[in-house]
Amino acid sequence: MRSRDDWVAAATQLSIRTGLYIDGRYQSARAGESFECVNPASGAVIAHMARGQAADIDAAVASGVAAWKDRRWRGLAPRARMEVLQRFADLVQQHSQELALLETLDMGKPINDVLGIDLPEVLKTIRYFAECIDKIEGAVTHTDASALHLILHEPLGVVGAITPWNYPMLMAMWKVAPILAAGNCVVLKPAEQAPLSCTRLAQLFVDAGGPPGVFNLVNGFGPEAGKALALHPDVVKLSFTGSTAVGKLLLGYAGQSNMKRVALETGGKSPQIFLNDLYDLDAAVDRAVGGIYDNAGQVCNAGSRLLVQRGIHDEFVRRFIARSALAYRAGDPLDPATTLGPLVSHAHQRNVLARIARGISEGAHLAMGGGSAGALPGGAFVEPTLFTGATANMSICREEVFGPVTAITAFDTEEEAIALANDSDYGLAAAVWTSDLKKAHHFVAQLEAGVVWVNCFGDGDMTQPFGGFKQSGNSRDKHMMSLLSYTQSKSAWFSLA
């Protein structure tokens, strides 16, 4: 394992690409403007990124349309496209140290988390969808003998992807990999808070033999570059991960423009239910702690509502606080020993602290944390925070905080737990902890969530469709069903009469 000093030294050698990546080359923004990239661990400006706007989106989409029309990507044999994506994954692997450094400096994620979680998941994602390419199958339907009917899956065209900053590379690859695997072209607009790693990924695709123009990237702000992409008449589908509020705007932009398809992966307020009969309280507490404080709580499916049955409530709270005190070490995210980095920005830190203050003013009991951990001067840290005595009407139980803040609510009956869990605008994920198999099935059937975990939290692999019910979204990432969502069916009816 490299030391903090090694990483600090490596950071001084980094060459940061700041341009938009269109047509296989870095370009300045057409208006010549840029925006600052800030390291949230220190407040230092680390780069000035080209600030793409509508004219840049036009150029990126036009480049994608040209690549779509001349079939330079979709026209390749499936095996040839697979090989490009596998080489892309190889290059990501070869550049993992550079990519990890970029991510850590840009968004404050501990370097060991990027190396141990984000990058392995990015590789699995690219390789999984590469492997899927020649597994896409159409159908021959059962018709009268005078006809032959084929159902074919065809790619869509130029797809726009707008992604968030919490797992910058992974959230982008959950979109880009299946979009490309299906034979489409893509224009990616990463989050302005953490654009560095994705900018590099676009180039690595071309370095891997991907035809220029097939994967273009425009950095910039949501209301400028993001909105222009969402309104663009030549973008046939928009795939989005981010907040519910922006997801609703995108549906409007699609209606105002070309009625493009809009796939949304949005916010969450995921409940974890702990029943009196769960078989291992320590294991459950461990996952409750990790489920909210990993990545400093900046996780869409974070377990931010802990519903604990009365019989184990007091012991659960005691062990939760004891475990949390041991589990995290705040510090410089370049230090491999750090397990709690800063939040992505100082603005987000202020927002999370304000939500904590609101929880207190609404009458919840602040049982742990609540302040900005002073691990590094100038860093945007927030302490792991726990509220107890929370009730369903409080903002900490209703609104997404997107930080290391969770609330425990005690309940008596299983019906009460289900009602509390489902009393939310969101429906991304939920968990139930019980040793009773029948009860577990009952909860799975009753919980309104796209993912339900039983006796675990956050587990899964590429075969698990990921996405939400209700205002958590309308689509699924991962799994073959994500790949197929970037295709459209064509019915070919042959008369044999």
What residue ranges bind ligand NAD (CB under 6 A)? 162-166, 171, 189, 191-192, 221-223, 226-227, 230, 241-243, 246, 249, 265-268, 300, 400, 402, 428, 468, 472-473
64 or 468: CB nearest ligand NAD:
468
Tokens 């589990």 sit at which residue? 327
- The identity of residue 6, as a single letter, is D
The CB-of-415 to ligand NAD minimum distance in angstroms stands at 28
Query: In sequence order, what are the residues at sequence separation of 6 or more whose Cβ sits closer than 8 angstroms to the Cβ of residue 471?
Result: 244, 247, 266, 267, 425, 426, 427
The CB-of-433 to ligand NAD minimum distance in angstroms stands at 23
The CB-of-333 to ligand NAD minimum distance in angstroms stands at 19
Which pairs from 317-320 meet CB under 8 Å and 24+ separation? 317/367, 317/386, 317/388, 317/408, 319/281, 319/282, 319/285, 320/285, 320/288, 320/289, 320/386, 320/408
The answer to whether 214 touches 64, Cβ cutoff 8 Å, is yes
Is 362 a residue of the active site?
Answer: no
Question: Considering 37, 198, 300, 397, which one is annotated as catalytic?
Answer: 300
The answer to whether 379 touches 41, Cβ cutoff 8 Å, is yes
223 burial type by CB count under 10 A (0-12 exposed, 13-18 middle, 19+ buried): exposed
Question: Considering 121, 192, 224, 265, which one is annotated as catalytic?
Answer: 265
375 — phi, psi (to 5°)?
Answer: -65, -40
The CB-of-477 to ligand NAD minimum distance in angstroms stands at 6
The CB-of-272 to ligand NAD minimum distance in angstroms stands at 16
163 or 434: CB nearest ligand NAD:
163
d(CA 50, CA 158) in angstroms, rounded, equals 22
189 or 319: CB nearest ligand NAD:
189
Is 37 a residue of the active site?
Answer: no
Q: CB atoms < 10 A from the CB of 236, how many?
A: 21
d(CA 356, CA 172) in angstroms, rounded, equals 30
The CB-of-419 to ligand NAD minimum distance in angstroms stands at 23
β-bridge pairing 185-189 and 469-470? unpaired
Residues with catalytic annotation?
Answer: 265, 300
